[in-house]
Amino acid sequence: TYGMEKPRGYSVSFHYNPHVEYHHFGSSHPMKPWRLTLTKQLVLAYGLEFTMDLYQPPPATFEQLSQFHDAGYLEFLSRVTPQNVEPEDPTFISYGFGGESNDCPVFDGLWNYVTLYSNASLWAANSLTSQQSSIAINWSGGLHHAKKNMASGFCYINDIVLAIQQLLTRHQRVLYIDIDVHHGDGVEQAFESTDRVFTLSYHKFGVDKNGYPFFPGTGNITEIGPADPSNRGKGHCLNIPIEDGIDDHQYEWLFKTITGAVVEKYRPEAIVLQCGADSLGGDRLGRFNLNIKAHGFCIETVKNYGKPMLLIGGGGYTPRNVARTWCHETAVCVGAKLHNNLPSHLPYIQAFQGEENGGGIMYPDLHNTKRHTNDNTQAKLQNIIAHAMENLRYLEG
């Protein structure tokens, strides 16, 4: 039977290069690659590695990244170091570095870090297009804010755009869904002029008590793509703005209603799901009150559509809960149920123990940790759903 393609089956592939863990954005920076160490340890401790095909992708090449990014920007990224950086240089600032917040610092091994997480997404996309797997996972990717010539919001290279470009070589329509608490602006912008990618982002939107918008400040429900009605991309993006403190029940209802309608109307051939874990309760930067199983409900819902699915990470700033969530979601993909008692041989088990760290269990109640007041009324959510359905009428041509 040689010469025949392997049937798709139900196999899950896991794409990860542990060298990403050795990179540091700086001690006070909220983005901690160490959360990936914790995720990996949990996945291994539960024995989930035996249920998947494992790949360790090498760094991506300059040429692979230039499928989306400008060569000048890549040249800069590949050469800049903490030693040679010139903070006053106008190109440095135009590439999204420096500034007051210093969201995107220059750190040792930056190029190595970005090429590692990017190729893991490319390999994951490739395992779907070559039909080696039906679900492909890269928890180290999901850096949705990066633009073709600019770093933004902790993101330097947009691995999601690169992976979607790979999927477009085999699939006519790709749906991108983003449950990170921030708006997936970089992916939306990259595909704003095509009808072959539909982008759907759920996120916190609004200003704080001092009048500062929640990052990146875009993604209102009225933003549906380019204004020009002759643009093919018009109507192929949907933004779901959410207020502080949304709970499990409300989020699950919003997610299944709206995502279900998009899938029915757009009929995607493949789905990319960005699983940013900063939408959990108790996240250092997030504003929602979601529990792990409500976040995982979104993954389960998308899995049940039965399309080739690429799962990628994203934000998540309380590392122990990021690890719990992505391990739970790995289990959802392979159809395993995890015991609430953490495996006793788990390395770094202290990170999950103690009342403040979740009491040594897999599924602690995150509603009670740093709870945000719920500003989402049933009427407001009803209104968002109605507006979203109205926006989807563009798909009817």
Rank residues 132 and 189 by Cβ distance to ligand ZLV and give the closer one: 189
As measured in angstroms, the least distance from the Cβ of 387 to ligand ZLV is 23
Is 186 a binder of ligand ZLV (CB under 6 A)? no
Query: Is 180 near Ca ion (CB under 5 A)?
Result: yes
372 is annotated as an active-site residue: no
Instruction: Tell me the C-alpha distance between 319 and 332, whole Å.
Output: 20
**Would you call the peptide bond into 229 cis, given omega within 30 degrees of 0 as the criterion?**
no
Judged by CB under 5 A, does residue 183 bind Zn ion?
no
Q: Compute and round to an integer the Cα radius of gyration of the chain.
A: 20
Give the shortest CB-247-to-Ca ion separation in angstroms.
17
Identify the CA nearest to 156 among candidates 191, 87, 203, 106: 106
**Shortest Å, Cβ 2 to ligand ZLV:** 43
Binding-site string for Ca ion from residue 184 to residue 223, where x marks contact by CB under 5 A and - marks none: -----------------x-x--------------------
Q: Is 173 in the site for Zn ion (CB under 5 A)?
A: no
Q: How is residue 325 written in tokens?
A: 């969530």
Residues 6+ apart with CB under 8 A from 33: 20, 21, 22, 23, 24, 25, 113, 140
Q: Does 235 engage in binding with ligand ZLV (CB under 6 A)?
A: no
Report in angstroms how near the CB of residue 101 gets to ligand ZLV at its nearest.
Answer: 3
Q: Which region, judged by CB under 5 A, interacts with Ca ion, from 18-26, 123-131, 172-180, 247-255?
A: 172-180
**Burial code of 294-303, b = ≥16 C-beta within 10 A, e = fewer?**
bbbbbbebbb
**Tokens at residue 232, please?**
């093919």
> What is the spatial distance between Cα 322 and Cα 317, in angstroms, rounded to a whole number?
7
**Length, in residues, of the chain:** 397
Q: Return the number of the residue (46 or 251) whose C-beta is nearest ligand ZLV.
A: 251
Give the distance, in angstroms, between the CA of residue 396 and the centroid of all CA atoms in the same chain.
28
CA distances from 6 to 3, 11, 14, 49, 171 (A): 9, 11, 18, 21, 18
For residue 369 the two structure tokens come to: 């940790």
Given 98, 315, 319, 364, the residue binding Zn ion (CB under 5 A): 315
In the stretch 107-146, what mask flags binding to ligand ZLV with x, by CB under 6 A? ------------------------------------xxx-
Q: How many residues bind ligand ZLV (CB under 6 A)?
A: 19
153 binds ligand ZLV (CB under 6 A): yes
**Given 23, 69, 144, 183, the catalytic residue:** 183
The number of helices, as runs of H, and strands, as runs of E, in the chain is: 11, 8
Q: Which of these ranges, 3-11, 68-76, 188-196, 314-322, lies near Zn ion under the rule CB under 5 A? A: 314-322
Catalytic residues: 183
